[in-house]
Amino acid sequence: MESTLGQPNFISVAFFLVFVLLTLGITYWAAKKTKTSSEFYAAGRNITGFQNGLALSGDYMSAASFLGISGMVALKGYDGIIYAVGWLVGWPALMFLIAEPLRNLGKYTFADVLAFRLRQKPIRISASIGGILVTLTYSIAQIVGSGKLINLMFGISYESAVVLVGGVMLLYVLFGGMIATTWVQIVKAALLLFGVTLLALLALAKFGFNLSDLYGAVENTYGRSALEPGGLVSNPLDAISLGLALMFGLLGLPHILMRFYTVPDAKEARKSVAYATTFIGYFYIIIPIVGFAAAVLIGKDKIASVDKGGNMAAALLAELLGGTPFLGFIAAVAFATILAVVAGLTLAAASTISHDLHFNVFREGKATEEEQVTVARRATVAFGIFGILLGILFKDQNVAFMVGLAFAIAASGNFPALFLSILWRNFSTAGGVASILSGSLSASLLIILSPTVWVEVFGFSSPIFPYKNPAIFSMTLSFLTAFVFSKWFPEKKAQSAYETEKVRVYLGVGAE
């Protein structure tokens, strides 16, 4: 069957417009409730555990999850599932290690936790660098996915599509803040779970609802190797590095950590992780079915000819199984997915710039509510424009792969410092700054020198750094520098504040 992808069709445009109007309606409603900085950054701390769990899953099930993993499974086989499993296993660790301390210690950003007993200025500046590097690389992946999608749905150029997505996303964040972003994420999570379930059921119907028949068809078409490891990650060190990045990267993602400030207390924070893990676990169990079914029913060559990174496998399968109306619905859901995630990322970046840098570093805690929100909105615009420009530069990358790199930076720069500040009495400001900067910058540098960027983006013949994922090196360096610098430059004040911190972490006394 001939695909209509790349030609504008009325049904796709109609679904797209309905979703945009619905979310702009939410933004208008939220804008009337967003007056204070607490409402802009944290939705006034009035979101329930269930609502936050849905919003967290909406924030996390990104274009990389939906478009990227299904495409990766379709083109690379079994190894694509590593991403699905890797992104899921971080959630129990988040629940037991980070969620409760974060909610009890912080106010708006994860840097609040680090600054609780360390010196404000140096730790917030370094945490801001780490946070912005993560949100920027993560945003690029979402923007690439959205550009491809709108480009193929409406038949407009990739560059115009990226600008269109960036413009709509800026409207959400600028006017609605966290309240609008939360409700857009809740709506999007419900739509995505429904859409993927329907797509998987229609695909399984082609194989008599029998997974053995589906995998048998994959083996018959592409050989046994498609169901065995090695299609994407053949080097054991690369595999371990990728696993570390996917698991611990979650615990350092600013836009995910920020969501824990939207609930009233630590109990609701734990509940929200439990709900999120359930929704996300279900999603990642069924998304490989979509990828394998696309490989058999459409064919790898056809998927790769539409998009080199394989990001359109789910859309092509939807069109094959449900015609143009289902393609329109799935494309609109994918678009909703991207908008919700980019809005969350942009809000996290804006809060880092306005709350951590402007309010706490430059103004030393003396800015008015109105000034904070104004700076946050200006930061939103700047970050949005920069993200759009980088999205245009990285146009041919697989989005799941790009997010894997963002996770490597989060696992190396943000997670070690956050983890040690909560659990290690002797952790000092020098150790925190060294840990964040060495982890973030080494991960970013190694990614640039790796085959992914040095060869595929810049076009050099061979990479300087041979591995695709740097987490095992950059994460080790981050923990090592944290230990060495904390021992070299001990801090009595930070050590004595550890007992106060423990009381607040475990009992919630004094939490905002």
Tell me the average pLDDT of the chain: 83
Amino acid at 473: F
Each residue's pLDDT tens digit, 409-461: 899 999 999 999 988 999 999 999 999 999 999 998 998 888 877 887 777 88
Q: What angle do CA 295, 151, 444 make, to 5 degrees?
A: 80
**Beta-carbon contacts of residue 424 (< 8 Å; ≥ 6 apart):** 486
User: Is residue 61 pLDDT above 90, yes or no?
Assistant: no
The Cα–Cα gap between 129 and 127 comes to 5
Could you give the residue ranges of the DSSP H alpha helices within 206-312?
Answer: 211-222, 236-249, 254-257, 266-297, 300-306
The predicted pLDDT at position 179 comes to 80
The Cα–Cα gap between 458 and 309 comes to 17
Which structural domains are found in the chain, ordered by start?
A: 10-404 (1.20.1730.10)
**Beta-carbon contacts of residue 465 (< 8 Å; ≥ 6 apart):** 446, 449, 450, 454
Please report how the helices 80-93 and 266-297 are oriented relative to each other, as an axis angle in degrees rounded to 10.
Answer: 170
The Cα–Cα gap between 311 and 330 comes to 13
Is the distance from CB of 249 to CB of 93 less than 8 angstroms?
no
Q: pLDDT band for position 335 (50/70/90)? A: confident
DSSP line for 156-169: --HHHHHHHHHHHH
Tell me what the mean pLDDT of segment 300-309 comes to.
82
Among the ranges given (137-141, 148-152, 237-241, 259-263), the one the predictor scored with the smallest mean pLDDT: 148-152
Burial (CB count within 10 angstroms: exposed 0-12, middle 13-18, buried 19+), residue 465: middle
Question: How many contiguous H segments (helices) and E segments (strands) does the chain have?
Answer: 22, 0
Phi, psi angle pair for 156, to nearest 5° = -95, 165
Tell me what the mean pLDDT of segment 365-369 comes to.
74
Is the distance from CB of 263 to CB of 508 less than 8 angstroms?
no
The Cα–Cα gap between 269 and 226 comes to 40
Q: pLDDT band for position 64 (50/70/90)? A: low
The residue behind tokens 């630590």 is: 266
User: Is residue 397 pLDDT above 70, yes or no?
Assistant: no
Q: What stretch of H or E contains 140? A: helix 120-154
DSSP line for 366-408: ---HHHHHHHHHHHHHHHHHHHHHHHHHTTTS-HHHHHHHHHH
DSSP line for 78-91: GGHHHHHHHHHHHH
DSSP annotation of 155 reads -
Comparing CA positions, the residue from 133, 121, 134, 105 lying closest to residue 432 is 121
The predicted pLDDT at position 31 comes to 75
**Beta-carbon contacts of residue 230 (< 8 Å; ≥ 6 apart):** 79
Among the ranges given (35-39, 113-117, 347-351, 397-401), the one the predictor scored with the smallest mean pLDDT: 397-401
Does 116 or 479 have the greater pLDDT score? 479
Amino acid at 207: F
pTM (predicted TM-score): 0.85
Return the C-alpha torsion angle 200, 204, 209, 212, nearest 10: -110
